[in-house]
Structure 1
Amino acid sequence: MPEAFSGASDFVVVGAGLAGAATAWQLAVRGHQVTILERNVPASHDGSSHGSARIFRYAYPDPFYTRAVVESKGLWDGLSAACGAPLITPFGAVDYGPERNPRLLASVLAGEGIEHELLSAADARARWPQIAFDTEVLWHPGAGVIDAEGAVNAMVGLAVEHGARLLANWELQRVERTGAGYRLHSTTGQTHDAGNVVISAGGWLPALLGQLSLPAGFLAGLPEVTVRQEQAFHFKYRDHAPADHAPKDDASKDDDGGAAPGAGCRPTFIHKAADIQAYGLPGGRDAGFAGQKVAEYNGGKLIPSAARQTGEVDPANRRRVVEYVQRYLPGLDPQPYAETTCLFTNTPNEDFLIDRVDNLTIVSPCSGHGAKFAPLIGQWAADLADGSGGVPDRFRTASPAAVTT
């Protein structure tokens, strides 16, 4: 049962996924009175921030995002130091495929001074025989895998240490304007008053937008926010032998000092072929450290909101991904040993939405590629919410279109 509580806060953050947790952490560290309202629990399994495996990478065709990754990495390092645990495991990343344009990505990384190599398909196959590369390949060793759930719990924990209050199982139904700010109503009849509200509801945002007391002009100017029920599949490794090229450092060690399963020998990848865009990464504890997580990017069906997710894997999507593994990933057993669904919430151009009107801030970090920016998104959102700074214009409602991924 939800904790019985009716109260007031200077700032209420709705949603304890990566973006909400990061915003609450930033606001609490600054000394604000913060309450986090979470419909379930932080990093809930039915949201977009659960589990141990999200790609951290620098390679973007738009230098803006590459520079933002660099800035975000500094905040990730500070977060890891503050919570006393590594949150990004280094694996490196490869980008390839006729629609991925590795040469363009390499030029962006070169412009930002980020270590990388541009390899021929033959040289890349010699280095990573478990992948059947079909074009030249960009390799950048600074990439890795984010422990999303660990990061959420770390940021919520630090926010609480700095005085924030977490109310779990508090599902927002609507927000109404009051003379002093806002009154938030839960689905079970509880209320909470706030001077400032940050809505970071992930896949639940589309259904909430009409219930937030937003000015009509502001609401009409927001980009369309879509939600997909995606699928991810885990395939066992055929060979666990490490690769000679792999980075080796303390961040790839487990708690006992030995090499974490798969660490340093299986790069993350993004492959844009003519008929499919796929990505993969070591699956971590999500599937017992036994294999690679592989998925088709934006391959799931559109749903009105997260409340309409079924958790059922689409057989046609499973077939496409299995066929992809058979064709391009000879280092994997092509029969998945685990599978799951997850949520992608995106704007049409995949730019983030971070905007504010009348002391209410909307944060939608585009869960298809936003995890790596979580601490930075929290900083941007906190700056906007408390008036201490702004956010890049492209994240406001009047921002021009841009291609990001």
Structure 2
Amino acid sequence: MAGAFPDSSDYVVVGAGLAGAATAWQLAARGHQVTLLERDVPAAHDGSSHGSARIFRYAYPDQFYTRAVLEAKELWDGLALEAGAELITPFGAVDYGPTRQPALLAGVLAGAGIEHELLTAEEARQRWPQIAFDTEVLWHPGAGVIDAETSVNAMVALAVRHGATVLTGWSLDRVERLGSGAGSGYRLHSAAGETLDAGNLVISAGGWLPRLLESLPLPSGFLAGLPEFTVRQEQAFHFRYREGSSFSATNWPTFIHKAADMQTYGLPGGRDAGFAGQKVAEYNGGPRVPSAADQTGLVDPANRARVVDYVRRYLPGLDPEPYAETTCLFTNTPTEDFLIDRADNLTIVSPCSGHGAKFAPLIGQWAADLATGAAAVPDRFRSASSPALTT
């Protein structure tokens, strides 16, 4: 999708993944002049927001995030209604394993009024014999699967409906500051030599952020206060439902399993691999890369072997040989908190650490609030050097 090329815009959002699309939609819906820039196309396949399968869940050991999911779900429901599309398919979720602390998670859900059950391993195995549970199990039926690509395109379409311009194939090379005052804007330069002026700039570049930070005109103190970002080329594998079984996407919950030696997650793979099986991955199991630009797209054989062995041990309802595999990007912070912070008229948005997708509409709201000065964002998402935390 592309729009007429503007010379300038009040708000320019860089990156049309889930967070960038949500921010552009929120800003445009408030009546601001918005341009959304994307180096490829929205929900590009070499980014973090492509495909049809991301877990939507409420279970967190931290009540802050559980309550934020509740807030995000209201926005998801409104987005789906406005877009006329189903964006989250309900499947429910199970959480288990020696270090997952199902009882603690159950207590958080109880405090937030979210429907759930705490089951023994035997009770869970009777309900889901396709999974070899090794501890007590938290079940919450309100969880599901987000169609990431459809969600991105829905938010981009709504942004355009509210007057935003979308420029694709626009790869940001560098940004220069126009003037020296606190209210001065920016000139963006593309890799192809194009320029675009922005009164306010929002960077939501996913795995490209670590390298892009070097080319942004940010105060040195602000840069020094940012958390360390690490990018991983994650690996995901699709396993068919065991032949002759009654298992299918309709009776598999999503899951997070924290065993002593590795953390895994799984969910119905959706159209990403022909609706034929489950998508299973080791959390943060892929190799580190300096930035998204350095990804190879190659699956690590050692990671494949670990996940195949896991499926043999714990998922008897699946054929343990993957029929499809892929890589994707996780951008992580040390605490797994997000970064939504601002210096002058430049806002950085990084819904990091593999759990940001479920918050996308809320992250867009937070980012739009911060970029416009309409409201504050939670302090945990701002760096130690940001004014809200030092005054």
Comparing 360-369 with 52-61, greater Cα deviation is found at 360-369
Query: Using the alignment, how far apart are the partners of 1:343 and 1:19 within structure 2?
Result: 14
The code of the aligned residue for 1:199 comes to: I
Retained in 2: the 8 A contact 1:48–1:367? no
Query: Using the alignment, how far apart are the partners of 2:214 and 2:32 within structure 1?
Result: 28
What does residue 197 of structure 2 align with?
193
What does residue 257 of structure 1 align with?
none
The code of the aligned residue for 1:128 comes to: W
Q: How far has the Cα of 1:121 moved from its partner?
A: 0.2
What does residue 41 of structure 1 align with?
41
Which of residues 220, 225, 228 in structure 2 aligns to 1:221? Answer: 225
Deviations 1:172-194 (A, max 9, x none): 01111003400001011000001
Which of residues 244, 249, 274 in structure 2 aligns to 1:262? Answer: 249
Deviations 1:62-108 (A, max 9, x none): 00000000000000000000000110000000000001000000000
Task: Report whether the alignment pairs 1:368 with 2:372.
Answer: no
What does residue 357 of structure 1 align with?
343
Query: Using the alignment, how far apart are the partners of 1:194 and 1:399 within structure 2?
Result: 24
The code of the aligned residue for 1:89 comes to: T
The verdict on how the C-alpha distance between 1:198 and 1:240 changes in structure 2, with shifts beyond 3 A counting, is farther
What does residue 76 of structure 1 align with?
76
Q: Secondary structure at the match of 2:329?
A: strand
Query: Using the alignment, how far apart are the partners of 2:81 and 2:3 within structure 1?
Result: 32
Q: Secondary structure at the match of 2:321?
A: coil
What does residue 321 of structure 1 align with?
307
Q: How far has the Cα of 1:399 moved from its partner?
A: 9.0
Q: Secondary structure at the match of 1:170?
A: coil
The code of the aligned residue for 2:249 comes to: G
The code of the aligned residue for 1:11 comes to: Y
Query: Using the alignment, how far apart are the partners of 1:28 and 1:240 within structure 2?
Result: 49
The code of the aligned residue for 1:165 comes to: T
* Unpaired segments ≥5 residues, structure 1: 243-260, 401-405
Which of residues 268, 279, 282 in structure 2 aligns to 1:296? Answer: 282
Retained in 2: the 8 A contact 1:393–1:399? no
Q: How far has the Cα of 1:287 moved from its partner?
A: 0.4
- Aligned-pair identity (%): 79
Runs of 4+ more than 6 Å apart: none
Query: Using the alignment, how far apart are the partners of 2:367 and 2:136 within structure 1?
Result: 38
Q: Secondary structure at the match of 1:40?
A: coil
Query: Using the alignment, how far apart are the partners of 2:28 and 2:7 within structure 1?
Result: 17
Deviations 1:260-279 (A, max 9, x none): x723x110000000001000
What does residue 165 of structure 1 align with?
165
Deviations 1:49-69 (A, max 9, x none): 000000000000000000000
Which of residues 199, 202, 208 in structure 2 aligns to 1:204? Answer: 208
Alignment of 1:234-245 (within 5 A): 234-238=238-242, 241=246
Alignment of 1:336-347 (within 5 A): 336-347=322-333
Retained in 1: the 8 A contact 2:233–2:328? yes
Retained in 2: the 8 A contact 1:5–1:191? no
Q: How far has the Cα of 1:367 moved from its partner?
A: 4.8
Query: With structure 1 as the length reference, what TM-score do the two structures score?
Result: 0.92
Q: How far has the Cα of 1:240 moved from its partner?
A: 6.0
What does residue 50 of structure 1 align with?
50
Query: Using the alignment, how far apart are the partners of 1:278 and 1:150 within structure 2?
Result: 25
Q: How far has the Cα of 1:159 moved from its partner?
A: 0.1
Q: Secondary structure at the match of 2:319?
A: coil
Query: Using the alignment, how far apart are the partners of 2:265 and 2:306 within structure 1?
Result: 13
Retained in 1: the 8 A contact 2:11–2:33? yes
What does residue 389 of structure 2 align with?
none
Q: Secondary structure at the match of 1:356?
A: strand
Q: How far has the Cα of 1:241 moved from its partner?
A: 3.0
Retained in 2: the 8 A contact 1:105–1:138? yes
Q: How far has the Cα of 1:167 moved from its partner?
A: 0.2
Q: How far has the Cα of 1:210 moved from its partner?
A: 1.2
Query: Using the alignment, how far apart are the partners of 1:118 and 1:167 within structure 2?
Result: 48
The code of the aligned residue for 1:23 comes to: T
Q: Secondary structure at the match of 2:318?
A: coil
Retained in 2: the 8 A contact 1:6–1:190? no
Query: Using the alignment, how far apart are the partners of 1:399 and 1:115 within structure 2?
Result: 39
* Unpaired segments ≥5 residues, structure 2: 387-391
Query: Using the alignment, how far apart are the partners of 1:3 and 1:127 within structure 2?
Result: 51
Query: With structure 2 as the length reference, what TM-score do the two structures score?
Result: 0.95
